Amino acid sequence: MHWSDALAIALAVGAGAAFLFGERALAAADDMRAIYWLAVGVVSLQAAVQIAKPGARA
């Protein structure tokens, strides 16, 4: 496995965890924390896909 694949997988796993935290915060009506974690999840997922794609451009 190429190291960039490992980094992409780690970022995707982190995105999943961030989405879970965000959803829990949203359910608990903690909106600021929810927005923070959901933003972390979206950015992590975006970074994971950009790193994994061999021909992608920024």
Q: Which residues bind another protein (CB under 8 A)?
A: 2-5, 8-9, 12, 15-16, 19-20, 22-24, 26-27, 29, 36, 38-58
Q: Tell me how far apart the alpha carbons of residues 2 and 33 are, in angstroms, rounded to a whole number.
A: 34
Min separation Cβ 13 and another protein, Å:
8
Q: Show the tokens assigned to 47.
A: 């970074």
Min separation Cβ 32 and another protein, Å:
9
Task: Specify the 3-state DSSP secondary structure of 53.
Answer: coil
Min separation Cβ 18 and another protein, Å:
9
Under DSSP, the state recorded for 46 is H
